[in-house]
Structure 1
Amino acid sequence: MLTLAADTRSIVLPTGQIDITVDEAAWPLDALCDFAARENPKRGFLVVSRVLGRHLPVSPQVMRRSVRDLAARIPADLPGPVLVLGLAETAVCLGQTVHEELRLQTGRKDIHFLHSTRQQLGDQPLDTALLCRFEEPHSHASAHLIYRSALPAPRSLVIVDDEISTGTTTCNLAHALVAACPSVEGIVVAVLTDWSVGRGWQERMPRPTKVAALLSGRLEWTQGETIAATAAFDMAAASLGRLATHSNFGRLGLEASVAPLPLTPLPPLTGPLRIVGTGEFTYLPFRLAERMEAEGHDVVVQATSRSPARVGAAMKTKLSFSDNYGTGVPNYLYNADPADGRTTWIAHETGADTIDPGLVAALGASVIGWNA
């Protein structure tokens, strides 16, 4: 695969400065990501992916091509069973699509999927339902839950995230998961961008670890403006949602990919389309977008987020609204311009009455659900 020349840049944001050096890249930096300031006292910047379908609208074919290239960099002969684990909320769709691509590329049936979550499921006590939990220290929502599943004990673990900077979250996850699954022999960390070169975090991992990435290099952050924690930030860091009723789209483990159509009938469509996933519910909206694109429609995908970023740099517009998972934490949708002429479908797993009417009105959207 093509390796591009080194690239060194400095990005000045209202909250500080990012200095980056790209060492190797299968995709150009500008094709993979941009940057923005974040309203977060723990970390004042955000790496904004151009291929993830979260903060920036992306065509499904670009998303698929990036994941296909990333999956091709993961060794095909990992000892099985293999567990692909996607990190919520950002990498649920990415992780599940990596899982799908690995099965397609290798022909193997022993590659399974699970994703972390910030949702409590039903009324079962967490201490009996969870396989493990871990912390993402720099995040706006630090707690991650991983539920027990009926999947076989893995020998190989593939951890999928959009990017890695210090490796702390990855180490926290790996130690928690290996303690719960001592059968794990080796780990692959698969990310779109790896900014951790030279930090040595692999030495702290509980099992031998390799990294698969479309771009690798170094990122140094110099804090500028001091950001004070707000009540909303403190709430987000501590809050977990609750799904009283739910379908298993990955939180309880999947052997093979599932892509059911929504229970809500699709609205009639003329002209270009925007499909918006909500929170952790992003893979099935992406698969619907691929289906619509295959039928000849002009489609982009993006998703709501709990990450509080500032307008500016990669963030051109920002909508704020209530969380459809019922945490009371503000949610955001970036770079969805109501004036761009796109029809908007907001996709959910939580019930149509959980979607903030203000968001629906701002985009003139229709709401489609996999939980009616």
Structure 2
Amino acid sequence: MKKKVVIITIYDPNPNMGNRLQNYAVQKIFENLNYDVVTISFKEKIKMNNIWKLKLLINKLTNYRFAKHRVYWRKIQKRYDELDKFNERYIKTFNVNNLSDIPDADFYVLGSDQLWNPKWWDEANPKMEQSIYLASFAPKDKVLCVSPSFGCDDIPESWKPWFKKYLNRIPEICVREEAGRKIIKVLTGKDSIVTIDPTLMLSAKDWNEIIEQPEGIGKNEKYILAYFLGGTSEQAERDLNAYSKEFNIKVYRIFDERCETLYSINPSNFVYLIKNASLIMTDSFHACVFSFIYDRPFLLYDRVGTPGMMSRMDTLFDKFDLKRKYVNSGLTNEVLEHDYSNGYCNLKEEKNILRNFIIRQTKNIDDI
């Protein structure tokens, strides 16, 4: 009988692309090690109520757009539906309402993504998330990390006693960023190791198994892909316009009302778009990761309105010789250059570090 792994990660009703893709990657890592894997979900899905459904039906029949909430019922809900379809197809999920519903398992895996960033924890039910995201309910010898992240340089003082108590229970800790390693050292005195985001454990060939061409995008079409979670800054907008003219190619924008075609895509579409882009311009960590995986040129911009988000970028860029791809680095960079040969050499070593960490913690010595 296969041993069982329960993945504990951020599982929102409206997760973003990177969140779903890292969840899939962790699942694949353990499936490849011959585990039975499930991810727990403990938040209700956002459903379209009957009023929204009626408005959407009227729009489909008459093309009439209601002014109030039209972005939500026409675009955002469709995005939720697309993400639900991805989850149902690729993520094995077990829904829980309270801690007692969490199934028994041989290991409870914490990660990845910003699991330990209290900013994302539900203020309405913080104790539930405290207990789940630090696995306080589980025997300590069954708790395993796979590159969880704090997503910040420090955590609020009010959270430090809780983190200190339950991080000390975890036998060995790995984190996704150098900033996280420092937080753990200060809180607990324990050393931890910095490991790669799990999406990097899968090859381009592995990711090709789930890619899906979005509607409205030509198979051999050339385009610049813009993906800005914090909105497009003035600097990025100027550069988008300049490069579009210079290279004589169009711009496609993900989750931007100016590009309705890509407003409601799913993670499989997202990976396809990066794989086939001539250039990716972004403020997203996972857009940078997949640009690197697929050997595509990319440019990283500061995220608008969200300071303190660069720690994960710093670690990623340091590990894989990508600093020049940050537009404000001050380093020389050709826009369409994508010689990542140094980074790929480092990636082999980093994959082994995380894989051996997992095997050592699960005591699957035969798999090393």
Answer yes or no: same fold by TM over 0.5.
no
TM-score bracket for the superposition, by shorter chain length:
0.3 to 0.5
Comparing both structures, which one devotes a greater share of its residues to helix? 2
TM-score, normalization: structure 1? 0.32
Q: Comparing both chains, which one has the higher relative contact order based on Cα–Cα distances under 8 Å and sequence gaps of 6 or more?
A: 1
Comparing both structures, which one devotes a greater share of its residues to strand? 1
